[in-house]
Structure formats: C-alpha cells, structure tokens
Amino acid sequence: MESEQAEYTVEYQDTYGVVYYRNVKASDIAEAKALIRQGNPDVVIRAATIFLDNTSNKNH
C-alpha cells in the first residue's frame, strides 16, 4: 500500500555554512530528509516542515 505524498520544505546547511531550502514530495518527514541526504550526504538538516496549500479551499 502506497501512502499519499505531501510537499515538504527542507532547510539544510552545507559545510561552508550556506543555508538552502528545497521543496520535495515525500510520504513523511523522514523520507523528505532522506531525499535531501541522497544528493548531499555532508549537509546538516536544520528543519523540515510540511507545506499546506490552503488555496484549494473554495469556501472563502
């Protein structure tokens, strides 16, 4: 059974102190962090948050 994916924003820092933000689609926060680490194994993940899109709510 495949779970639904959500969009996460992951904040991470490289070894030079530069902070990056990347949006990824993942099943949970652990997977979102793993996706960042796959291409950047030496970074420090500072935060991972779920992105909620409230614009799809038609009852404004």
29-55, pLDDT tens digit by residue? Answer: 999 999 999 999 999 999 999 987 766
Give residue 1's pLDDT band: very low, low, confident or very high (50, 70, 90). Answer: very low
Give yes or no for residue 56 having a pLDDT over 60. Answer: no
- Segment 12-33 shows an average pLDDT of 96
Is the separation of the CB atoms in 20 and 47 below 8 Å? no
Q: Which of 14, 6, 8, 53 is nearest to 37 (CA)?
A: 14
| Pair of tokens at residue 34 | 């793993």
pTM: 0.78
Give, in order, the Cα–Cα distances in Å from 57 to each of 4, 49, 50: 19, 21, 17
d(CA 30, CA 8): 10
Domain boundary assignment for the chain: 6-56
CATH architecture of the domain 6-56 equals: Roll (3.10)
